[in-house]
Amino acid sequence: AETLRLGDFQSTTHIVSVEGTTKWMAAVEEATGGEIGFEHFPSQQAAKSKAQLDAVNNGILDAALLGTPYHADVLPLNSVVALPGYYGSAAEGTQALQTMLEAGPLRDEFLAAGVTPVFGFVLPPYQVLAKTRLGMPADWASQDIRTSGSTQAMTARSLGGVGISIPGPEVYTAVERGRLDAVLFPLASVPGYKLNEVVSHISTNGSFGGYSFVMVIRSDLFDGLPADTQAKLVSLGAETAAHVAQAQDASVAGLIEEWKAEGIDTYSFSAEELAAVTEATGAVSTDWVERIDNDGAISVLETYSELTGN
Amino acid sequence: MLTFFAILLLLATLMVFRVPIAFAMGIAGTAGLAAQLGMRPALAVLERTFFDTSASFILVAIPLFILMAELLTAGDVTRRAIIACQRWIGHVKGGLAIATVAASVILAALVGSSTASTAAMAASAFPEMRAHRYSDRLAAAVVSVGGTLAVVVPPSIVLVVYGVLTETSIGKLFIAGIVPGFLTAAGLALVIKIIAQTTDQAPKGDPFELKGALRQSVHVIPMVVLLLAVIGAIYGGLASPSEAAALGVMGSLIIVMLQRTLSFVQFGTSISRAIRATVMIVAIVACSAIFSNYLAFTRITHGMLEFVATTEMPRELIMAIIILVLLVMGMFMDQLAILSLAMPLAFPTAMAMGYDPVWFGIVVTKTVEIGLLTPPLGLNAYVAAAQTRVPLGTIFRGILPFLGMEIVVLVLLLSFPQITLFLPELMMSR
Amino acid sequence: MLETGLRKLEDILHIAGCLCLVLVAGLINLDILLRLFANRPVQVQFELTELFLMPALACLSLSRVFRDGGHLALELTPERMPGPFGAVVARLRLLLPALFFGAVTVMSGEFALDAILQGDVEYGVVDWPLGWAYAVVPLGCGVLVLRLLHDALRRREPADL
Ligand code: NA
Ligand code: NA
């Protein structure tokens, strides 16, 4: 029997943990009859968000749920998920990510970093939350928009807005007091930050980039496991990935209904608006390929584009 | 378990023999990790702890607010303003300390971090009290305890983190903090009054004279303008708290340049002192992260709270135990580390017993805030000691009566949830 | 001689830390003013502050602050205890932290060196060279180790023993 120390930067109350990480750990413990067990360290208890991958490599942890944007220095190709205009739901994005983690450049990046990806899933696509309805690129001109990371900052800029970095805990007051006009945010995380209390318009069918989580196990440990145990980890992982994606999509649909009832304008972009926005943000993908400066980048983007039907 | 006590003994021994607190926690934490995980992983923890701790935009508020206070003090602005307050109420016994509490409340409305607030008051209010023959013990204690108001009176970084961890409305938490904040301030003033009446630690100031009070009040104007500008920047939407701190530095610099009360050498000294306090605080936070990391791997906190969650005791007793555990953790650890370690278990437990999440948030914040005042790790006392050079032991002794008051306020909040909840309910029901 | 050189080094790092604080205050104010009057922020401000300036101002002065007695300690026992026991305590008080910060220096130093050699970058407003951001930690801690060893091993005046 083996007990794996599993690091996690999310709290146990987050939907990603309830429907994803915790569920998977329980399923694995049951399916392997206790052969594999877990000691779970949520909320960055074992290592900070950015240090999770190093912690697995160094034997501080055996496994970790990585937020790939925290590791863009080591996993640059995996940042393809952050590009705007691709997946339209967590289910669609997760399916694409799972396929790309099975074989190819995204998987190779993890292996080269000394860890094996077991499964991965995405947050529902980022939407825009604002105090006015943002539609055509002209509406976005000079808006102060909270973004996280360079890809999102580029996204805001490609639409004529100004990308501003503000630490997560400060976003609420920044919007409430007008320091920010708009926020690019994953809708599932909106209640955690109570942003629905301070905005009046929330888009529902945009795709302003994404965010991927990947569960990894240290490769020398994973490779030493019996083949059937490995297979169980992976197949239960695939089930969990599909489940947590659906649960998030359903939760977002429920949230949208709640917000509508609260009097918030939850709106869909018209076909014309969507086309104009996608046209404008296309530059972000071009820039990404140039910036990564890696032969794999073009082919990764092509595969990703195909898998998400864009 | 035996290893755990050995590590605690090591920590205590190091601290008793005057190894700096940060170094002691780093050594004990690393030794614990080595015993728990092995030498190589333990050393690997050291790779990036200092970088990950210090590379934080939120932390910028600490050196900047300290620098602002240093500039105002070096440029004689704070002293003149506090003398003005003293002219109005200083003739009363303990009046100057009570004026300090009032100033702490105003500062708390600007600052979200307790240590930043303590540092500012220690640099400005403390020297005035010392000059008026207040005992070091009382003056440094008032500054340390007054600083804790910053995390209850909004804005508060601790409340925001609690709200994020537990998905509780930050808007409600902020409103809910107001009454407990003023209650604490009133309690503080009461204890000062009692000490002033019964001992000679807080002597009477100069007799009251209206003309002098009015004339001296002119000097309050720049201070008030600055506070309004900083408050205005946050509430008017121009700046986040860290950015407002930078505006405060610029504003202070402009004031002291207009007054021509700051030399270039004093400017350099102010910066140097701000760096000094920041280095000390960040070293403690980084090393306490190593120690917290060790605690996480022992699963001791986990086991303790899990036991509380599964037993069949009455809910009041369980709540009392949770509060006690948090108080004990507060003796050793940083507030945010306590929240992230304990909330995943304590919050669902409290909710399962039917407690209100906003009320629990204020109670938890109040509890971890008391930890800032207790040895061995009482961050506010350390900051006050760093600024004032009063020995730590003296400060901890001075804090003792205020600690009693803090416990009384905590018990009041625990017993009467309406103290915390009536204001948010009033404002949210409209 | 050794003492003079060490002091110089500590002072230079401390001045560098002070300049970082001035830069932080200046950049944030410039950012706010430009946003207010020209509607364009100083894009590099946030990342430069978080990645480079904060770690530098928090780590570079570690040794200078120690020299000035700025790292706080409990004061439960007298500073100098009599006899051979006191002499051992006085040395261990410096040597144990030297061992700890030595480990921090080596580990964080290797970490920074790897990042520099691999050319790790944080993709932000510009490609930030992460290794150089990490390097302030071993620099600050390394000088602190020198200070601790120097104070522990220097010959004591007879009165001190
Ligand atoms: Na506050
Ligand atoms: Na404490």
- Mapped to the 3 state alphabet, what secondary structure does B254-308 carry? HHHHHHCCCCHHHHHHHHHHHHHHHHHHHHHHHHHHHHHHHHHHHCHHHHHHHHH
Q: Which residues pair with C38 in a beta bridge?
A: none
Residues with CB under 5 A from ligand 1 (ion): B 108, 112, 150, 153, 156
CA C9 to chain centre: 12
Q: Mean pLDDT: which of A108-112, B249-253, B327-331 is highest?
A: A108-112
Q: How does residue B430 score in pLDDT terms, banded at 50, 70 and 90?
A: very low
Contact between C103 and B43 using a beta-carbon 8 Å cutoff: yes
For chain B, the average pLDDT equals 84
Contact between B27 and C97 using a beta-carbon 8 Å cutoff: yes
- Quickly list H helices, B17-60: 21-37, 39-45, 49-54
Contact between A173 and B234 using a beta-carbon 8 Å cutoff: yes
**Over residues C150-158, mean pLDDT:** 73
Residues A104, A107, A113, A116, CA torsion sign: negative
Q: How does residue B38 score in pLDDT terms, banded at 50, 70 and 90?
A: very high
Contact between C123 and A162 using a beta-carbon 8 Å cutoff: no
pLDDT per residue as tens digits for the range B91-115? 888 888 998 888 787 777 656 567 7
**How far is the C-alpha of B275 from the C-alpha of B307, rounded, in Å?**
44
Classify each residue of A121-143 as buried b or exposed e, where b means 16 or more C-beta atoms within 10 Å of its C-beta. Answer: bbbbbbbbbbeeebbebebbeeb
Residue B19 has its nearest CB partner, among C49, C70, C96, at C96
pLDDT per residue as tens digits for the range B123-145? 778 888 888 889 999 999 999 99
**How far is the C-alpha of B404 from the C-alpha of B412, rounded, in Å?**
12
Return the beta strands (E) in C2-92 as ranges.
none
**Over residues A123-137, mean pLDDT:** 95
CB A79, CB A72: distance < 8 Å: yes
What is the predicted pLDDT for the residue at C158?
A: 41
pLDDT > 90? residue B309:
no
Q: Which ligand is nearest to the CA of B381?
A: 2
Nearest CA-CA distance, residue C12 and chain B, Å? 12
Percentage of chain B exceeding pLDDT 70: 88
Which range among A227-236, B33-42, B356-365, C116-125 shows the weakest confidence by mean pLDDT? C116-125
What is the predicted pLDDT for the residue at B213?
A: 84
Q: What is the pTM of this model?
A: 0.84
Which range among A35-44, A222-231, A261-270, B201-210 shows the weakest confidence by mean pLDDT? B201-210
**How far is the C-alpha of B38 from the C-alpha of B388, rounded, in Å?**
41
Q: What is the signed CA dihedral for B137, B143, B144, B146, rounded to 10 degrees?
A: 130
Q: How does residue A238 score in pLDDT terms, banded at 50, 70 and 90?
A: very high
Is C122 an 8 Å CB contact of chain A? yes
